[in-house]
């Protein structure tokens, strides 16, 4: 689909309308799982988990637990032998024969109370044979490492994921463009660097919780805090041998997601247990400690980069080898590896590229979707290498970026032609706002100031054909109800959907409601709420549904008035004729139609608009070279610049000023875009300075907020500037594309570059904690 260049932009598009109040503008929003009266039949599930990172299960004795009064069900992996997974089906709901990480579910119990369920877990005896654990992805990729998934070659996998059976490599994505070996010989400067990015946790304020019930007819309902109700319906139903039409998922408003509530994680557990106790609802809730390491985490990454340029600063070659620590299951992580592969150059035009992006099984927690989907980790390396390369040739960083940044029409590393992008504008705007080149004095003699800049790009990481659908219907008073399948997780998706529907229809914003909660039995299909794709993909579906409804209304009125439909419009909820100057309200006619003259019947009937969208133009990439016509639908690009102050006595970093500029095609709701940029930066800052899952021999050492620090309001910079750049996307609704994940992507590199500018030291990766910065300054002789 190509947006017509003459398409009129409605007044509501680009207007900062207030965020929808879910209590008022989402139909059925008060129906949450915890409000549903299950009564005394509600059972509580708890799980006995693996105490080892890698071991064989020799035996399980559940007899004592089964005999405990109040216990209604005890299940193991033998009860559910089928594998489950979004991209690579490589895990079981409960471990079968082998455990692969500390905290993996081994036995499930349902009882009349959580206390009894916990008692039952203590009565279960599991005998293990401990195996050598793999706790380093680089080592895990070698032939010497123990094999974690011996049956990798048997796993179901799509044709764009390339596992290597007989190894721990579950996906190896390659790019081969040009001749890097020859190009490096022509370089005036070459920088080689290895960066290690640790695992981090999503830490949503609302932990995972789900309730499942199978009725006496075999139909299952799952209530879950979910970003992916339709994916959960499909994957869980297939794994348990249930028809998707007999599996219903209801997903109320979500209390924080960031990717950890995408796909299927713990939600399959209560469903599986519920199949053993028909008629009983089963509730399963993760404790905060379980949330830290038994569910999805952000994968760790070791990235080895070699980049070279000529004496004029033109980039000539890049070699990029990435070892993604996918954990015990890489069912989602294999696509993070793929995304890292096709985006491996960052937003730079480089003629010679060699990329090896490897997803490696380890005995760490399972790596899954996390805001940025691998791009923060990838850009943590690329952003610093580009900074160092500019230093090597003595070129100003901003000038270096502008010289090498990708432009519309460039051929990317995958062979795809780049669409128009406003990235150069982003660079110029952040440089101007941060006062690049101007050195500010520190606030005290023991402090040093510095500035850093970093760029980013990110494409929606998804299969080639993820679909969206929407419907629009009316009430008698003309108010509009919009059905969507995308989830509201705090990003403003419902507000933007309502805004788009109102704009396309021609009705006031406050006439629009969003149908909720999401319910796979009634809501229109949506692949998942991930990849910053809803404004673009779901937005297209909503726009088309509203336009479909609008056309039906105009056709009806044109027939009733005997006028040309092209002379009619809908303005503020009224159909108006620019020819006869007649008007009529939408009230009643959108349900009952319009009477013919002289009581000779009726025209019209209830209006229901339908819309769908699916990209049909993404092509496959060659397994050996990564080359193809179109690797992704599009890239959102941006730049970030920071000014920091480093305390020489403690190593503490204070961010004085932060500037972000992103090109999202068109800002449907500018206020929401600014909020995403601010929130994304703070989350990026949190992962840059504070966050790290401290894993030792496969065990997490800091599974609580006592020892796992995240940024708070006290860590927000004194000054934050967010800048919108708009270079319309040809297939986006009114030119829009997503910007939800992107603002946290360049933050680690921008901070690292600013710290280097201030005190002349670099770390081998985040977090840039005060202690680590101070020790680096001490080692470099900056302080004594």
Q: What is the pLDDT of residues 467-523, one digit of tens each?
A: 999 999 999 999 999 999 999 999 999 999 999 999 999 999 999 999 999 999 999
pLDDT band, very low/low/confident/very high, at 7 (cuts 50, 70, 90) = confident
Contacts of 338 (CB under 8 A, 6+ apart): 160, 161, 171, 173, 357, 461
What gap in Å lies between CA 586 and CA 546, rounded to an integer?
Answer: 14
Residue 702 lies in a domain: yes
Model pLDDT, residue 524: 98
Model pLDDT, residue 23: 65
What gap in Å lies between CA 581 and CA 181, rounded to an integer?
Answer: 72
Write the CATH number for 90: 3.90.1170.50
Q: What is the pLDDT of residues 340-377, one digit of tens each?
A: 999 999 999 999 999 999 999 999 999 999 999 999 99
**What's the mean per-residue pLDDT of the chain?**
96
Model pLDDT, residue 382: 98
- How crowded is residue 211: how many other Cβ atoms within 10 Å of its Cβ? 25
Residue 140 lies in a domain: no
Could you tell me if residue 263 is left (phi over 0), alpha (psi between -120 and 50 degrees) or otherwise beta? left
Q: What is the pLDDT of residues 134-174, one digit of tens each?
A: 999 999 999 999 999 999 999 999 999 999 999 999 999 99
Q: What is the pLDDT of residues 93-106, one digit of tens each?
A: 999 999 999 999 99
Are 598 and 489 members of one domain?
A: yes
pLDDT band, very low/low/confident/very high, at 684 (cuts 50, 70, 90) = very high
Model pLDDT, residue 53: 98
Are 232 and 366 members of one domain?
A: no
Query: Tokens 């195996």 identify what position?
Result: 131
Model pLDDT, residue 410: 98
Residue 516 lies in a domain: yes
Are 88 and 233 members of one domain?
A: yes
What gap in Å lies between CA 297 and CA 694, rounded to an integer?
Answer: 12
Residue 744 lies in a domain: yes
Contact between residue 119 and residue 85 where contact means Cβ atoms under 8 Å apart: no
pLDDT above 50 (res 31): no
* 496: helix, strand or coil: helix
Contact between residue 70 and residue 116 where contact means Cβ atoms under 8 Å apart: yes
pLDDT band, very low/low/confident/very high, at 34 (cuts 50, 70, 90) = very low
pTM above 0.85, yes or no: yes
- Counted domains in the chain: 3
Query: Residue 74's closest CA among 82, 62, 64?
Result: 62
Residues 574, 578, 581, CA angle at the centre, nearest 5°? 70
Query: Residue 99's closest CA among 149, 144, 165, 145?
Result: 149
Residue 357 lies in a domain: yes
* Chain centroid offset of residue 242 CA: 28
Owning domain of residue 249: 33-131+208-285
Query: Residue 287's closest CA among 208, 224, 210?
Result: 208
Are 268 and 309 members of one domain?
A: no
Higher pLDDT, residue 34 or 699: 699
Are 9 and 38 members of one domain?
A: no
Are 15 and 53 members of one domain?
A: no
Are 250 and 309 members of one domain?
A: no
What gap in Å lies between CA 607 and CA 554, rounded to an integer?
Answer: 11
Contacts of 421 (CB under 8 A, 6+ apart): 347, 406, 407, 408, 635, 637, 663, 727
Residue 67 lies in a domain: yes
Are 659 and 773 members of one domain?
A: yes
Write the CATH number for 26: 3.30.365.10
* Chain centroid offset of residue 226 CA: 13
pLDDT above 60 (res 406): yes
Q: Which of 285, 311, 344 is the last residue of a domain?
A: 285
Model pLDDT, residue 612: 98
DSSP secondary structure string for all residues of 395-448 = --HHHHHHHHB--TT-B-TTSPBPPP--HHHHHHHHHHHTTTTPPPPPSSTTEE
Tokens in use for 190? 């070459």
Are 688 and 770 members of one domain?
A: yes
Are 691 and 585 members of one domain?
A: no
Model pLDDT, residue 6: 57
Q: Which of 285, 320, 348 is the last residue of a domain?
A: 285
Are 119 and 47 members of one domain?
A: yes
Are 441 and 494 members of one domain?
A: no
Residue 164 lies in a domain: no
Q: What is the pLDDT of residues 59-68, one digit of tens each?
A: 999 999 999 9
Q: What is the pLDDT of residues 705-750, one digit of tens each?
A: 999 999 999 999 989 999 999 999 999 999 999 999 999 999 999 9
Q: What is the pLDDT of residues 592-632, one digit of tens each?
A: 999 999 999 999 999 999 999 999 999 999 999 999 999 99
Residue 199 lies in a domain: no
Strands 719-725 and 653-663: parallel
Query: Tokens 């008629």 identify what position?
Result: 279
**381 to each of 214, 335, 522, 765, 780, how far by Cα in Å?**
48, 19, 45, 8, 21
Query: Residue 285's closest CA among 258, 246, 255, 327?
Result: 255
Q: Which of 613, 647, 664 is the last residue of a domain?
A: 613
* 459: helix, strand or coil: coil
What gap in Å lies between CA 368 and CA 257, rounded to an integer?
Answer: 12
Tokens in use for 645? 């102050």
Query: Residue 113's closest CA among 45, 209, 35, 210?
Result: 45
pLDDT band, very low/low/confident/very high, at 20 (cuts 50, 70, 90) = confident
Dihedral sign computed on CA atoms, order 285, 519, 203, 262 = positive
């Amino acid at each position: 689909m190509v947006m017509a260049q003459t398409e009129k932009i409605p007044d509501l598009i680009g207007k900062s309308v207030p965020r929808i109040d879910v209590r008022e503008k989402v139909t059925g929003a008060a129906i949450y799982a915890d409000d549903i009266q299950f009564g005394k039949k509600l059972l509580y599930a708890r799980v006995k988990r693996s105490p080892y990172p890698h071991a064989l299960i020799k035996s399980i004795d559940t007899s004592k637990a089964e005999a405990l009064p109040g216990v209604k069900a005890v299940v193991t992996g033998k009860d559910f032998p089928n594998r489950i997974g979004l991209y690579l089906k490589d895990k079981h709901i409960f471990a079968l024969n082998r455990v692969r990480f500390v905290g993996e579910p081994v036995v499930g119990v349902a009882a009349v109370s959580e206390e009894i369920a916990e008692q039952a877990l203590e009565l279960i005896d599991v005998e293990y044979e401990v195996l050598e654990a793999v706790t380093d992805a680089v080592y895990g990729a070698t032939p010497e490492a123990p094999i974690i998934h011996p049956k990798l070659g048997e796993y179901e996998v799509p044709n764009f994921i390339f596992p290597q059976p007989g190894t721990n490599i579950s996906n190896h994505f390659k790019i081969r463009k040009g001749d890097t070996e020859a190009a490096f010989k022509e370089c005036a400067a070459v920088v080689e660097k290895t960066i290690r990015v640790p695992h981090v946790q999503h830490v949503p304020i609302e932990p995972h919780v789900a309730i499942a019930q199978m009725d006496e007819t075999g139909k299952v309902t799952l209530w879950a805090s979910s970003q992916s109700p339709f994916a959960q319906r499909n994957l869980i139903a297939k794994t348990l041998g249930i028809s998707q039409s007999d599996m219903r998922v209801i997903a109320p408003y979500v209390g924080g997601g960031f990717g950890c509530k995408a796909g299927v994680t713990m939600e399959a557990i209560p469903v599986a247990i519920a199949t053993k106790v028909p008629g009983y609802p089963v509730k399963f809730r993760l404790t905060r400690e379980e949330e830290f390491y038994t569910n999805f985490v952000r994968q760790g990454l070791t990235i080895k980069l070699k980049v070279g340029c000529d004496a004029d600063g033109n980039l000539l070659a890049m070699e990029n080898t990435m070892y993604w620590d996918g954990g015990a299951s890489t069912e989602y992580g294999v696509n993070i590896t793929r995304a890292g592969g096709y985006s491996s150059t960052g937003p730079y035009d480089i003629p010679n590229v060699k990329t090896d992006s490897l997803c490696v099984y380890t005995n760490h927690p399972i790596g899954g979707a996390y805001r940025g989907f691998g791009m923060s980790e990838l850009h943590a390396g690329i952003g610093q290498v580009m900074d160092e390369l500019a230093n090597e040739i003595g070129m100003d960083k901003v000038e270096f970026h502008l010289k090498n940044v990708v432009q519309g029409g460039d051929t990317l590393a995958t062979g795809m032609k780049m669409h128009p992008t406003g990235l150069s504008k982003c660079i110029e705007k952040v440089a101007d706002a941060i006062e690049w080149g101007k050195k500010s004095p520190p606030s005290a003699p023991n402090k040093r100031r510095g500035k850093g800049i970093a760029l980013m790009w990110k494409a929606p990481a998804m299969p080639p054909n993820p679909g969206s659908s929407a419907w629009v219907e009316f009430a008698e008073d003309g108010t509009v109800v919009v059905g969507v399948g995308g989830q509201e997780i705090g990003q403003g998706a419902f507000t933007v959907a309502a805004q788009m529907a109102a704009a396309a229809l021609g009705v006031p914003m406050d006439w629009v409601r969003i149908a909720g909660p999401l319910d796979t039995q009634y809501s229109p299909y949506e692949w998942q709420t991930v990849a910053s794709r809803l404004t673009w993909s779901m937005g297209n579906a909503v726009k088309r549904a509203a336009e479909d409804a609008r056309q039906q209304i105009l056709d009806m009125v044109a027939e009733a008035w005997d006028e040309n439909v092209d002379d009619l419009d809908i303005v503020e909820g009224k159909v108006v004729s620019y020819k006869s100057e007649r008007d009529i309200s939408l009230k009643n006619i959108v349900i009952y139609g319009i009477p013919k003259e002289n009581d000779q019947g009726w025209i019209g009937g209830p209006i229901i608009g339908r819309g769908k969208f699916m990209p049909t133009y993404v092509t496959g990439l060659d397994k050996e070279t990564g080359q193809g016509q179109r690797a992704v639908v599009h890239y959102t690009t941006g730049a970030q610049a920071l000014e920091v102050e480093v305390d020489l006595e403690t190593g503490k970093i204070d961010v004085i000023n932060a500037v972000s500029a992103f090109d999202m095609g068109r800002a449907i709701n500018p206020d929401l875009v600014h909020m995403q940029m601010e929130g994304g930066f703070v989350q990026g800052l949190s992962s840059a300075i504070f966050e790290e899952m401290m894993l030792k021999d496969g065990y997490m050492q800091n599974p609580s907020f006592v020892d796992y620090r995240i940024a708070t309001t006290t860590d927000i910079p004194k000054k934050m500037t967010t800048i919108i750049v708009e270079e319309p996307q040809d297939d986006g609704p009114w030119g829009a594309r997503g910007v939800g994940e992107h603002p946290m992507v360049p933050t680690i590199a921008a901070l690292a570059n600013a710290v280097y500018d201030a005190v002349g030291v670099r770390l081998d990766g985040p977090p840039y904690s005060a202690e680590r910065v101070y020790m680096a300054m001490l080692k470099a002789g900056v302080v004594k």
